[in-house]
Amino acid sequence: MDWDSYRGCWQNSIPSEDAEPEEGEESPGLPPITITDLASFSPAKGTILGEPDNLGVAGLPTNFVTEAETHVRSGELFGFPIDVRFTPVSYTFHYGDGESDTTSSPGSSWESLGQAQFTPTDTSHTYTDRGTYDARVDIAYTAEIDLGVGWFPIDGRLDIPGPTQQIRIFEAHTALVAHTCAELPSAPGC
């Protein structure tokens, strides 16, 4: 980005001994801004939710969703007031069993999709074994800055790891029976 074309906006706020640079000298300008300079503005971390209620059944899909939206943080950078707009562009779901998946979707609940529980979704995962797993979602953000003259994109992206959420996976066994447990209390599964 060519910040020198905007240096007149900030020239009066940069301390210098001379108001005008001497011939052949350049006036001080805003240093180049990189994506790592913006990490201190702390984009939002994504929290992960496994449906239903952070529980699942081995062999059946557990649906994962996160909430992330475009948001603005304000502060100072290099002594200048600045607004930074972070936009989520990808989500990496880490399921805690060594598997992960990167998608452009934060996921949707089964209810909002109009689907029954344990239906596969773009962000669901099927665990093979029962147990407790530490799942998390990492969100990649792009950034734009506004120094008072409009939004400008910054090259690169910030990958922000989210906190872990324990997902408990149970085993379920089914049996076909001729009678209900009320009718035959000693039947399988009663």
CA angle 163, 164, 167 (to 5 degrees): 150
pLDDT of residue 124: 93
CA distance 143 to 177: 59
What the block records as the tokens of 48 is: 């992960």
In this predicted structure, the answer to whether residue 27 has a pLDDT above a threshold of 70 is no
Mean pLDDT of 119-144: 94
CA distance 51 to 119: 11
**Between residues 8 and 23, the one the model is more confident about:** 23
pLDDT in tens, 135-179: 999 999 999 999 888 898 999 998 999 999 999 999 877 666 677
Helices vs strands, H then E, count in the chain: 2, 10
Q: Is the dihedral of CA 46, 47, 51, 54 positive or negative?
A: positive
Is 0.75 surpassed by the pTM of this model? Answer: no
pLDDT of residue 144: 92
CA distance 91 to 104: 6
